[in-house]
Structure 1
Amino acid sequence: MATEGYDLRTFRRRRRRRAGLRRGTAWCPEQSYRRIRAMDAMEVPPPVNPFSPAAVARVSEVDSRPTTVVTSAIRDTLAHLDNYLHSGVGGTVAVVGDYGTGKTHLAAELLAHARQLTGVADQAVYLDAPADTFLSLSRRFLGRLSRDAVRALLDEYRADPPGDLADRLRAELAEVTTDPSLGQVLAMLTDPATEALAWDWLMGYPPGPALVAAGVTARQDVESGAVEVMGALALLHGHRHERFVLILDELDKILSAAGRPAEETMARFSRMIGVFASAGAFLVIAGLPDMLHLLSPQVRQRIGPIVRMSALTAADVRDFIRQSQLRAFGQARLTPFTVETTEYLTNLTDGVPRRLIRLCYHLYQRAVQAGTPVTHLMVREAVRIQFDLANRQDVAADVRRVLTQDGWSYQRDHLIGSLRDLPVDFWVPLDELGAGCCVLLSESVLKSEEVDELNRRVVTIRAAMPDSEVILVVVGHLPAEFAADLTETFSVEPIVYDPQTFAEDLSGSVKASMRRLEQAFGADALTSVRQRVERIQRQQTNTQRSIERLSYQLDEIRGDLRHDHRATREVEPARRRPAVGAEVAPLPGRVARVFGEAIAALDQLTGFERHLREAFAPPGPDAVGAAPLRSGLRSRDVQRALGTSLVLRRLIEAFRDAVAQWYDSHRRTPHPADRERLDRLCETYDGIAEYLPLFQLDVLGDLAVPGHDDAVEPPDRSRSWSEARSVFDGLSGRVRQLVLVDG
């Protein structure tokens, strides 16, 4: 659409102005030339916003490369990739950076670059690691490759010189695995009669009857087997197409899924690095900086170059703005931004790409609406609106909770000395010594004048109360440059409010500050012990109040359950009478038994149902009561684990009902479309169960301990947990096989 002659803010035709000076206007060369230059710089931008409002990178399978500013991190990683594509020597490159620094964007650039040079899409694969196990990662890997693509790859091997395909595959895969079953199963994947069963085995499910007849056994370590499957397919792709690239994003989610990674996790990850190196593949792992600290020294030694994401400079930001507008409008320009505002914007955001792109979007909107260039005031207002997500009242409530839980006595809006017009938000006194710790709350600090004001306030507080420590909590955004200036004055680094870490950060800062004051005053040992005892007493009092509130809530739940029980008894007879024509055929015996064993295994893992029954059981000499349940529910980990177990139970029950409905409609000679429907049901179960943190169930060990009559020694109990979890791990694969066999 032609836009010449239109006002792009109102979409109305502009009146033509006659050339020359207006009547009564004097010619001023210097002022007029300055106005002309300003008009050239402020050409009215189009109304379409060329920037992303979310600023979250997404890796797409279609060939669409995002706007990219070539930073040192991108340049170095592309150089490592080009070296691999040229030499064929495999290895592992680690890319680390904080949130929003461009790791996923870099992964998308690597993926597009590798596919452009190799010309084959399957030679470069991107995976977003799940917060689960290596088995889940392997299933995503297989899903990204697809069964058809893997079968086509194996068909190429089958077309090679004559010979048994299974034997040739076993010989070729000897570099990455010693399991002869893997080559056998891959060969069976080329046979339509066994293709589905072979794919299920590769996905980690137990072998079906046809595979067992061919000598394939169940794997002892499914996790290690999943790593070998990934390495085997990488090896086959590499041998057939000479190169294979796997980009594994957010790997830290797997390593930290159960807290500190166990030795088994480290061993499997080390095995994965070794397998991909043996396969001659190029592995890129990306994650947060803590990812490297989670790795053992032996694993870190097996990783090659480490690329750290760097901040954008003001020149990078201007380049990005020009590229974005060139891509959207066909013209590379900086308008409505200026050199000065891009410098200011870069300083306030510390050059973090995600923050910059989000602000560019909002600033562009503001500038188009106002019809002016972006100003410093616009930048500050946008930063406050976008980054001040919390408010002072909510943060003050969090401060109160932290101080209360740690047992500190405190005063709110305390007036220090003669500072009647300048109270501190929180004052934590140190006994009767006249010393203490101040906690100040501040909104975003975006100007040097605001830094100076905070520094003056600290100096004034210390002049009125020399024996004091001051902790600054910023509710919003604090650029790194200003944080360094404030640290020198406050003697402790300011805390930028983050809901995930604030309680831990504030608790540690207050304890450290009070400890320094105690040492400065040289308090005797008896005084220190008395102060700590008083703190412990306050903590116990607060804990007792929390327990009483929880007990009151449990009493309310008990009353609701009794009411529901009476209502259930009234409607149960009517519910048991089946509706006419609505009967559903029961599942085959073995299928129903699998579902029953899964639910029983879950009850064995948690012990929740038994404890709940005991809590409401009539009083008696052997009655346990609600004490074990109350004790367990004090832990947040137990609460989260119970929530996971309840979701898993509902998921198994919903899966059972869906399979029963399918069986009732399709149990007689199901057609291929009916089998696909059953496959989708199984895939739905797997897709949901994959995101459940089942590792949390291990914390329910104490809650799941049987009563006195069923006492079990710890070794036997741990073995029963392993057996119980194996029942619903791979549930969909067993159900599918049994339904098709028994149906």
Structure 2
Amino acid sequence: MNAVTEGVDEVPSLDNPYSPMAVAQVTEFYTSDSEYPTIATDAVRKALAHLSACLSTGSVSSRDGKGTALAVIGDYGTGKSHLALRLVQEAGVLLGDHHQAMYLEATASTFVDLYRRFAQRLDRDFVRTRVSDFYIDVVTSSLQDTGLSGTVLEWLQNRELNPQQVVERLGLMESSLLRRVHEDLAKVTRDEAFGTALTLLLRSGFEDAVWDWFSGAAPAEVLRERGIVAAIDTEATALAAMGVFALLFGSHHGRFVLVLDEMDKIFTARRREDQNVQAAFQNLLEIFSRAGACLVLVGLPDFLRVLHARVRERIPHTVELHPLEADEVRQFIELAQNGRLAPFTAQSPRSVRDLSGGKARDVIRLLRAAYALWADAARMSGVRTAPVSETMIRDAAHHQFGSRPGDDVEATVIGVLKAHGWQFRLRHRLGPPGSDPVDFWVTFPGRAGGCAILVTRSILDDGDVKTLNRKLADLDDLDDPVEALVVINGVLNDAVADRVRTALTGELLRSGDPTFPHRLSTLLEIVNDRLEALTGDSSSALEIRFTQLSRQQANLHGLLEQLSEQLDDAAAASTRGFATVLQDLTALGQTGPDAAPRLPDHVGEIFTDATGTLEALLQLDPILTGAFGATGRQSIDDFRALTRAGEFFPAAGTALVLRRIIDGFRSAIETWYGRVETDPPASPDRASAESRAQLDRLCRAYDEVCNQVPAFRLGPLTSVAVRGRAAGSRESSLNYVQDVVENLSPRVRRAVLRSSAPHA
């Protein structure tokens, strides 16, 4: 879409068209949601083509076609879940029945838990209808054998009569017919127990017992008497059960599409050596192929690497999601804004792509932040015809992606220099009058020359590279040896990154990197050693070291006093500010009783996972418990290692604020349940509309509040290793934590809607 749609207002709206939390969120899995438009990227086209090809071939009944498996992989925030939901929507349209397309988040720890969620999503009427198809076939065959056909057959095949009615009215032998149904079901499912259970759905009084068994409960006595003696409680039986339903739904020219999202969470590295799980999963893939069904596996690239080679061979198609290109960003803008590019300019999509790296989630976050800056400016000036400026986009990127205000970066560098006792000057001019000053000039006693630290904003294009090269060239012209460290306080565009590194003889640092203070300290030590080698002067090394230690000690006392004051101020501000925010958030749900009900298990687990992730990141509880217990010395050492990390306290404060926000969101959802359960509506339709609207307001409130928290500041907590967790582990990665926090609202919303379907 390149042209502005006809009829669009000439002046852009002040209402932000971009979602506050850029994640996939669909109310019904078989309907489209215009709030989350889909860009037709190569990956999307390929995935839809594979799905269409699978659903256009023959079914398991005709044996003239096979099902398929499709892996959709990509990094965090690349749009995997959005594409997963899009595939389910498309399958519902192609099949004409949304019951034959299912979306599941594989956030469970085992396939047993995953199967139980699968069973909860099964529709009893739909399953009974599929089983009834087999009964219709058997009754039809019996009628034809006895010569009784004509109108009765027509009524039966058109479902104007069900097979039980025909059997009763015509006095046919039910037990013989059901025995034939059982034989047919057992042949299709290749499972005697399931053949028996499914057949029992056709008999009165057995449905609850059968359904409890399907849901994972131990078989009731009435089932044991009929040979069903084991529960579906192992990984192998759980995967086999999912395969049975795929075969059932694929019968009678049917089709079944199952999309399993977040497979990386269930297929962790430890699963690689579990031969039973690997074999059972391979069997599931083979069953889906035989059933003419489509199994879509969505997750990080890691989950495919965990699979054995023979298992991967059963997944014939892989679609990898890549960053968006500038023209795709433009398409997204125009889709989100009803065909309009304004107030963005023709250059904006390229800038947004470069600053965000093209990651879909970051593109949406940046567009929303830039649009908000434009709307604020428009409200103040009263002019809505001015475009979103490049400065607005860059400022929005600095807020969203970890670059910090200039004063913040300056304070961090000063803190490192003082802590190590280095001598320095701010904004010092080394060259002739008129030359640009360096941001920091660091000198070392007894050394000629020094280290120039240059702080620059985002480097996006050739112009930015030339500006930096000119500054570096001025330093090369000086007589004394000068080492240069460049700190990028923003984004480095991949397209020009190589040219930046080629021009730089020193080191390149990123201010948003959680290891920035530590790297800066290490590099300054290296510069000191280099200058010593250049000057050949090592006679005063001991004197220099004593001077540094003395200066470090004096600075340390000052830093501790300053830190204490900052923590007191931050605690007071946080208590005042977030008390108000959380009060507002909770108030949205407080229209029911004072005592909030307990959340359904599968909803509560989502909140527990989110808070547990933040607690694990902080690691404070086990360390502090040990510090005052039997392992005191080791725990104190762990605490020292943890707090020694640069910017630990701001990072810890961010984690605690996020924890408070999640707790407030949970409280609001609990109160929402109280209202739905105790406030009978005037009509079911009104209950659905009002409850969903209230739930949507709660989710939007969480998204808006959470979006204001600079989650990138959690970085220092993800780079420290203490006992029980290695730095850089998947569970502690910044991307993983951000994904848990940012996806909380849609996960809760989907789980709540499933658990309260009669009310919402």
In the superposition, the TM-score normalised over structure 2's length comes to 0.53
Structure 2: gaps of 5 or more residues = 1-6, 58-64, 139-176, 534-621, 643-722, 725-760
Residue 32 of structure 2 is matched in structure 1 by 64
CA distance in 2, matches of 1:193, 1:50: 53
Asked whether 1:263 is paired with 2:231, we answer no
Say if 1:126 and 1:424 are closer, same or farther in 2 by CA, change over 3 A. same
Q: Which amino acid aligns with 2:368?
A: Y
Amino acid at match of 1:130: T
1:280 counterpart = 2:247: no
Amino acid in structure 2 at the alignment position of 1:341: S
Output the amino acid matched with 2:31: D
What is the correspondence of 1:719-734 to structure 2 with a 5 Å cutoff? none
Structure 2 counterpart of 1:63, which letter?
Answer: T
**Matches of 2:508 and 2:351, distance apart in 1:** 22
Q: For residue 74 of structure 1, give the secondary structure of its aligned residue in structure 2.
A: helix
- Report the secondary structure of 1:236's partner residue: helix
Q: Is the 1:416–1:461 contact (alpha carbons within 8 Å) kept by the matching residues of 2? A: no
Following superposition, the deviation at residue 372 of structure 1 comes to 2.6
Contact map agreement 2:39 2:332 (CA 8 A) in 1: yes
Aligned partner of 1:195 in structure 2 is 207
Aligned partners of 1:247 and 1:449: how far apart in 2?
A: 46
Shift of 1:133: 1.6
User: Could you tell me how far apart the structure 1 residues matched to 2:416 and 2:115 are?
Assistant: 42
Write the letter of the residue equivalent to 1:295: L
User: What is residue 26 of structure 1 aligned with on the other side?
Assistant: none
Q: 1:461 to 1:238 in 2, by over 3 A?
A: farther
- 1:478 correspondence with 2:502: no
**Equivalent pair of 1:41/1:335 in contact (CA under 8 Å):** no
Is the 2:424–2:443 contact (alpha carbons within 8 Å) kept by the matching residues of 1? Answer: no
Counterpart secondary structure, 1:93: strand
1:377 paired to 2:391: yes
**Is the 1:314–1:343 contact (alpha carbons within 8 Å) kept by the matching residues of 2?**
yes
For 1:172, give the aligned amino acid.
Answer: V
Q: Is residue 2:264 matched to residue 1:297?
A: no
TM-score by length of 1: 0.54
Aligned to 2:105: 128
Contact 1:65 1:108 in 2 (8 A): no
Structure 1 residues 180 and 495: CA distance shift in structure 2, 3 A: farther
Name the SS of the counterpart of 1:99 in structure 2: coil
1:146 to 2:123 alignment = yes
The residue that corresponds to 1:83 in the other structure is 53
SS at match of 2:243: helix
Aligned-pair CA distance for 1:234: 1.1
Q: Against the structure 1 CA distance between its residues 615 and 315, is the aligned structure 2 distance closer, same or farther, given a 3 Å change threshold? A: closer
- In structure 1, the partner of 2:716 is none
Distance 1:236 1:628, change over 3 A: same
Find 1:333's aligned residue among 330, 337, 340: 340
Structure 1 contact 91–281 (Cα < 8 Å) conserved: yes
Tell me the equivalent position of 1:74: 44
**Which residue type is aligned with residue 230 of structure 1?**
M
Q: Secondary structure at the match of 2:347?
A: helix
| Partner Cα separation in structure 2 for residue 428 and residue 269 of structure 1 | 62
More displaced 10-residue stretch of structure 1: 410-419 or 282-291:
410-419
Task: Give the CA deviation at 1:243.
Answer: 1.5
Superposed CA deviations along residues 82-117 of structure 1, whole A, max 9, x for unmatched, are 111112421111122222322222223222221111
Structure 1 gap segments, 5+ residues each = 1-39, 327-331, 523-610, 617-624, 640-698, 701-743
Tell me how many residue pairs correspond in the alignment.
497
Q: Which amino acid aligns with 1:83?
A: A
The residue correspondences of 1:573-592 to structure 2 (distance < 5 A) are: none
Residue matched to 1:532 = none
Q: Secondary structure at the match of 1:316?
A: helix
Q: 2:411 & 2:265 partners in 1: Cα distance? A: 31
> Contact conserved, 1:409 with 1:428, CA < 8 A, in 2?
no
Identity percentage over the alignment?
Answer: 34
Which residue number corresponds to residue 184 of structure 2? Answer: 168
User: Conserved in 2, the CA contact under 8 Å of 1:125 and 1:247?
Assistant: yes
Matching of residue 233 in structure 1 with residue 240 in structure 2: no
Matches within 5 A, 1:348-387: 348-365=355-372, 366=374, 369=379, 370-374=383-387, 375-387=389-401
How far off its partner does 1:282 sit? Answer: 1.0
1:343, distance to aligned residue in structure 2 (A): 3.4
How far residue 484 of structure 1 moved from its aligned partner, in angstroms, is 3.4
Deviation at 1:443, TM superposition (A): 5.0
| SS of residue in 1 equivalent to 2:71 | strand
Report the secondary structure of 2:295's partner residue.
strand
Provide Cα deviations, 1:14-37, integer angstroms capped at 9, x if missing partner: xxxxxxxxxxxxxxxxxxxxxxxx
Displacement after TM superposition at 1:399 (Å): 9.8
Summarize the Cα distance change of 1:220–1:150 in structure 2 as closer, same or farther, 3 Å threshold. closer
> Could you tell me which residue of structure 1 aligns to residue 690 of structure 2?
none
Distance 2:455 2:364 in 1: 28
- Please say if 1:181 is aligned against 2:188: no
8 A Cα contact 1:380 1:446, kept in partner: no
Q: Tell me if the contact between 1:311 and 1:352 (Cα under 8 Å) persists in the aligned partners.
A: yes
For residues 96 and 303 of structure 1, what CA distance do their matches in structure 2 show? Answer: 13
SS at match of 2:99: helix
What's the CA shift for 1:444?
A: 4.1
Counterpart-to-counterpart distance in 2, 1:323 and 1:298 = 42
CA shift at 1:119, angstroms? 0.3
SS in 2 for 1:70: coil
Q: 1:498 to 1:345 in 2, by over 3 A?
A: closer
What letter corresponds to residue 79 of structure 2 in structure 1? G
Shift of residue 286 of structure 1? Answer: 1.8
Matched residue type, 2:274? E
* Displacement of 1:44: 1.7
The alpha-carbon distance between structure 1 residues 221 and 398, as it changes in their structure 2 partners (threshold 3 A), is farther
Instruction: Say whether the 8 Å CA contact 1:436–1:468 is kept in structure 2.
Output: yes
Q: Does 1:50 align with 2:50?
A: no
The C-alpha deviation readout for 1:331-350, integer Å capped at 9, x for no partner, is: x3333233233333333333
Measure the CA separation in 2 of the matches of 1:47 and 1:417: 44
Q: Distance in 1 between matches of 2:333 and 2:257?
A: 31
Cα 1:187/1:385, change in 2 over 3 Å = same
Given that residues 337 and 373 in structure 1 are in contact (C-alpha distance below 8 angstroms), is that contact kept between their aligned partners in structure 2?
no
In 2, the alpha carbon distance for the partners of 1:217 and 1:435 equals 83
| Residue matched to 1:310 | 322
SS of equivalent to 1:240: coil
CA drift of 1:222 comes to: 0.7
* 1:154 aligned counterpart, secondary structure: helix
Residue type of the alignment partner of 1:385: H
Q: Distance in 1 between matches of 2:424 and 2:125?
A: 68
CA displacement, residues 39-61 of structure 1 (integer Å, 9 cap, x when unaligned): x9993224444333333222332
Q: What whole-Å deviation, never above 9, does each CA across 1:571-624 have from its counterpart, x for those lacking one? A: xxxxxxxxxxxxxxxxxxxxxxxxxxxxxxxxxxxxxxxx99x999xxxxxxxx
CA displacement at 1:351 relative to structure 2: 3.1
